[in-house]
Amino acid sequence: MKIHIIKSPELSPELFTKTVELLSAVQGAISFSFNKDSVLNFDEDEILEHTFDDVEAFEKSLYHVPCYSPSENDITFPHTHPQATWTTLFAKCASYRQQQRIPDDEFVILLTDMANDKNWFASLDEHMPYNGFIHTDGWSHYIDCPAQFPIAYEVIALLLQKYMFSGMYDLRTSVHKTPVGCVNDMCIKKREIILKLRTADICRSCMDRIKDVVPAPVIHHALQIMESLRVKMLYAQNFRQDSPLSTLMITQHHKLLLPEFGHIEIKLRPLEKALYYLFLDHPEGIFLSSLSDYRQDLYSIYSRLSNMGMLQEMKGRIDDMTNALNNSASEKISRIKRVFEEALGHELAKNYYICGQVGEVKKIGLPREKMIDQRKAVVEKSK
Ligand SMILES: [Zn+2]
């Protein structure tokens, strides 16, 4: 089973990448293909300006649909926003399918910030149910959770819906109007999707609908992805801040993983990772002002990490970073902190990132017995 995920140009590459990372974190029977260069422009005549005169007209347009997007609170009337028709959105999927010669039984899902004429959050094409779109804009207004979580979840929900329902009529009449904690709960409000994300489940009657039409490994993989979203979301939302610390694992291929936190992966850029490794190697801490004393160490860490660029260029980057006169190291430390906080929540993250007041020694507080370093095992074995 294959899902091709494509984007329209207004969607930020960062959000696209984060969604991709969540979906591909768990391996299994569903395979994903992501094309960030699949930029599908909207022509001028494909964009409609839709105006709601007052709140009543606005709400009336929303109540009969499973999921809607615009906020009730921060809109002033008359309210106008650009939108595209469903026909336009599905035509984008169809033309991409044709262009790339994608078989009829593989999904093409368009992620787009463009609103749609029916105000749905996500839908499949009734006439070609392997095409679908997900509206990616505006999540931050509704839920206290990064947008990539509901978007990734909805990719899986669309896949399951394809097999659960025989058409739009079936879908409209069969979704759970009273939430039961199932992938098919109707979300009257965007924020209600959080409930589904927290249960990460398919109820018995919905499972009965798919168990004979979808291969078991696909159902299993879908549930595993939903479960991994659920766990990661809890940390990202600052829940579970009093959890016992997870070990920090550095794999042979230099992935930073937190196995006891649902295998969350911490993604750092090569230079940031080199700096982070240096601090891991020095539990006693390092003053930023003396970072240039560690240049040789950094050269060797970085050269093992990165096969990009020439030696001289690489040294140049390290020299820049260790130059006490510029801000480069501080900026990298701030970004490392942000990456950990986004993944783990503020409290828990403190144990893993590089801490220390301005002018004081900086260090990583994590007790080093909580570290599993598979790089060393490989080096020792090869000796
Ligand atoms: Zn259900």
- Return the half-sphere exposure (C-beta side, CA atoms, 13 A cut-off) of residue 256: 20
Which tops the pLDDT comparison, 146 or 297? Answer: 297
Helix or strand (DSSP H, E) at 131: strand 131-135
Tell how far the Cα of 199 is from the centroid of ligand 1, in angstroms: 12
Tokens of 304: 């093992």
The domains of the chain are located at 2-236, 248-382
Tell how far the Cα of 66 is from the centroid of ligand 1, in angstroms: 14
Query: What is the longest distance spanned by two Cα atoms in the chain?
Result: 74
pLDDT for position 334: 95
Tell how far the Cα of 185 is from the centroid of ligand 1, in angstroms: 7
- Spatial CB neighbours of 353, under 8 Å, sequence gap ≥ 6: 333, 336, 337, 340, 341, 364
Residue 144 has pLDDT above 80, yes or no: no
Is the bond leading into 13 cis (omega within 30 degrees of zero)? no
Confidence band for 308, pLDDT divided at 50, 70 and 90: low
Confidence band for 350, pLDDT divided at 50, 70 and 90: very high
Tell how far the Cα of 33 is from the centroid of ligand 1, in angstroms: 28
Tell how far the Cα of 184 is from the centroid of ligand 1, in angstroms: 5
Tell how far the Cα of 383 is from the centroid of ligand 1, in angstroms: 56
Tell how far the Cα of 202 is from the centroid of ligand 1, in angstroms: 5
Tell how far the Cα of 46 is from the centroid of ligand 1, in angstroms: 35
Mean pLDDT for all residues in the chain: 86
Residue 64 has pLDDT above 60, yes or no: no
Tell how far the Cα of 343 is from the centroid of ligand 1, in angstroms: 29
Question: CATH 3.30.465.10: does it fit domain 2-236?
Answer: no
**pTM for this model (two decimals):** 0.80
Torsion of CA 114, 147, 13, 128, to 10 degrees: -50
Confidence band for 193, pLDDT divided at 50, 70 and 90: confident
